[in-house]
Structure 1
Amino acid sequence: MKSVRMLGLSALTAIAAATALVHLPAAAQNGAYPTKPIRVVVPFTAGSSTDVIARAITDKLGASLGQQIIVDNRGGAGGTLGAAQVAHAAPDGYTILIHSSSHTVSPSTYLKLPYDTLNDFAAVTPIAALPNALVVAPSKNMKTLKDLLDQAKARPGQLNYASAGQGSATHLNAEKFRTQARIDAMHIPFKGSPEAVTEVMSGRVDYYFSPVAPVLSHIKEGRLVALAVGSPKRATALPNVPTTNEAGVPNSEFNFWIGMLVPAKTPKDIVNKLNAEVQKALASEDVKERFAKMGAEPWTMAPEQFDRYIKDDIAANARLVKEAGISPQ
């Protein structure tokens, strides 16, 4: 009778263990990660700065992790459409978000988001800081930032500026500049940076605070003129272009970043592994060279630090949205 009771207890233990195993992520069951291809969602169009940076880093990660990494562009609504897909994905490390500062702007510019920015994501690491270049078409006859300011003040409300979407980092950079410069200009949002750049080059849009990456070649070849950069310090790729602060508009800087996040409840060991792999990739010479050509500054921190940074950035952007008088949509 005793052996029967013991057999029953063993069977129950085995069943309980098997049941618990079902609820574990695949990586935890197999004792390794990754064991299959990884999808990286970029919530902006192909060719945007976030997309270019994502592809530079995922090329390296795919090799180091030994798995195929598929970049999935899901542009629209200032990056919120793609972010929503990741927020609701399984927290197993096989769906990753590479987003921009727009992630911390959206809570203030959208009345209702299909996710909770603070609670539906786990921060992994920032990847890069990208200065935004204020660019105009040569046909606008603007050589300096003062030229733009003079035109804006001579024709209040008649100049317009592009962004990569309502609430995007490019929008916030332009709004901070506009409020500090005390000019009136009309906002024209686009689906992504490539569309905005095209419209500025055509002259149909007057100016755009573009990440350096998608406009650097246009600047060098004379198709666009860089009047200033919106970052706290000058861009390494454009050393002769002043910051908006230096060019006469104090307190107009905006920190534009690109970083990696995963769904909340992703196992900590997976988060830490991704963080370590990104740090290794950023330290490699080929990634450094690719970033330098794009005007990107490598930037990383521990997951806990990035999580705190995101919380602080959400609060700072909320203040900016209020000061700029941007109405949530």
Structure 2
Amino acid sequence: MGRRMMNGRRIFLQTMVMVPTMALAQGGGAWPADTVRMIVPYAAGGATDMVARAVAEKMTALWGQAVVVDNKPGAGTTLAAAQVARAQGDGRVLYMTTSAHTISASIYEKLDYHPVNDFAPLTLVAKVPLVLVVRPQSDIRTLNDFVRHAKANPDKMAYASPGSGTAQHLAGEMFNRAMQTRIVHVPYRGDAPAITDVIGGSVDAMFATLTAVLAHIASGKLKALAIANGSRVEKIPEIPTFAQAGLNGFEYATWFGVLAPAAMKDDLRERISQDIRSVVTTQAMRQKLVDMGGEVIASRPAQFRVFMQEEARKWQAAARASGAGVD
């Protein structure tokens, strides 16, 4: 009889451990009781959309309630961000965004929201560093070659970006400032046409999001010179960091993070964050992010807030140095 009671107790405890942390809401009922929307400020098919859909799929299974990705592209992520900032903080609206969120305050003269204060940070999912790429047909083999060539040809070399005010653009301007070079910025409408012209030789280089160029590096269509990260990246460990290649402190990345409206209460924020982190750190999800060139972070809300504040200050300095702005 005692053995049966012990077995029953063990089964009960195991069942309790398996219950998702979001299963019980403040009032004792099941949560979420309705569909959760994860707003993405980009069109379907891009890297942010891919990460959001992977997370949403796992959260749907965990919560037993649909988590639906809602793509709201436009105005450099600011349209979607304004909508999230005005939403109720009841957990039914989440926001998967990128470094563009912390850049926006520095390049838009007027915003209807504050990128840090009007949002509740849930977790920084992953960081994806920028990488300097050139055509393999060029004589440039190392970062030192690139710098020497740029200094010997002021205003003649050009670097592409997916648009003015993007992380890729601002990183290029900070490189010019750090190395006292004059490489001309050429903005495009998105990554694809910019990468196409680097491969074709219309422009000399690009400070690209690693996710966007991994396949081209693997195929030999592009040559990576250095990673703007504190350490080498698992997916391409043979590529040195900028510090290892000779330029200290040059660390620029885009990132994927989940925010909520600032109105969300702290206890709900912590519970949702914990559930998303549990999904992001599974082996399958971690591998997916690594395969995209990412570094899995899965930070707590307080850590993510500090990171966003630091990002906002860094990008503000870059925007001022470049003179980038949007009316």
Distance 1:76 1:158, change over 3 A: farther
Check the 8 A contact 1:132/1:212 in 2, yes or no: yes
- 1:170 maps to 168
- 1:111 maps to 109
* 1:236 correspondence with 2:234: yes
Q: CA deviation at 1:226?
A: 1.0
Counterpart-to-counterpart distance in 2, 1:198 and 1:30: 55
Distance 1:66 1:175, change over 3 A: farther
Distance 1:85 1:132, change over 3 A: same
Counterpart-to-counterpart distance in 2, 1:194 and 1:37: 33
Q: CA deviation at 1:141?
A: 4.3
Counterpart-to-counterpart distance in 1, 2:259 and 2:57: 17
Check the 8 A contact 2:48/2:98 in 1, yes or no: yes
Equivalent AA in structure 2 for residue 217 of structure 1:
A
Check the 8 A contact 1:33/1:270 in 2, yes or no: no
Counterpart-to-counterpart distance in 2, 1:280 and 1:250: 34
- 2:211 maps to 213
Distance 1:280 1:28, change over 3 A: same
Structure 1 counterpart SS, 2:163 = coil
Structure 2 counterpart SS, 1:98 = strand
Deviations 1:125-151 (A, max 9, x none): 100011211122334443222332233
- 2:140 maps to 142
Equivalent AA in structure 2 for residue 113 of structure 1:
L
Check the 8 A contact 1:78/1:164 in 2, yes or no: no
- 1:317 maps to 315
Counterpart-to-counterpart distance in 2, 1:136 and 1:196: 12
Q: Which runs of 4+ in 1 moved over 6 A?
A: 27-30
- 2:127 maps to 129
Deviations 1:266-291 (A, max 9, x none): 23343222211121112211112112
Distance 1:311 1:160, change over 3 A: same
Check the 8 A contact 1:234/1:242 in 2, yes or no: yes
Counterpart-to-counterpart distance in 1, 2:77 and 2:211: 18
Q: CA deviation at 1:119?
A: 2.6
Distance 1:207 1:327, change over 3 A: same
Gaps of 5+ in 1: 1-26
Counterpart-to-counterpart distance in 2, 1:195 and 1:73: 22
Q: Name which of 63, 70, 75 aligns with 2:68.
A: 70
* 1:34 correspondence with 2:32: yes
Check the 8 A contact 2:173/2:321 in 1, yes or no: no
Q: Name which of 190, 193, 218 aligns with 1:192.
A: 190
Aligned length: 303
Deviations 1:194-214 (A, max 9, x none): 443333333333222222222
Q: How does 1:146-161 map to 2 (within 5 A)?
A: 146-161=144-159
* 1:57 correspondence with 2:32: no
Structure 2 counterpart SS, 1:245 = helix
Structure 2 counterpart SS, 1:138 = coil
Structure 2 counterpart SS, 1:97 = strand
- 2:100 maps to 102
- 1:274 maps to 272
Q: CA deviation at 1:310?
A: 1.5
Check the 8 A contact 2:123/2:300 in 1, yes or no: yes
Q: CA deviation at 1:59?
A: 2.5
With normalisation by structure 2, the TM-score equals 0.83
Distance 1:304 1:162, change over 3 A: same
Counterpart-to-counterpart distance in 2, 1:243 and 1:198: 24
* 1:246 correspondence with 2:232: no
Q: CA deviation at 1:328?
A: 5.6
Q: Name which of 89, 92, 106 aligns with 2:90.
A: 92
Check the 8 A contact 1:79/1:168 in 2, yes or no: no
Q: CA deviation at 1:47?
A: 4.0
Moved more, 197-206 or 306-315: 197-206
Equivalent AA in structure 2 for residue 294 of structure 1:
M
Equivalent AA in structure 2 for residue 171 of structure 1:
H
User: Percentage identity across aligned positions?
Assistant: 36
With normalisation by structure 1, the TM-score equals 0.82
Counterpart-to-counterpart distance in 2, 1:253 and 1:239: 16
Counterpart-to-counterpart distance in 1, 2:32 and 2:312: 31
Counterpart-to-counterpart distance in 2, 1:154 and 1:299: 40
Counterpart-to-counterpart distance in 2, 1:43 and 1:189: 20
Distance 1:266 1:152, change over 3 A: same
Gaps of 5+ in 2: 1-24
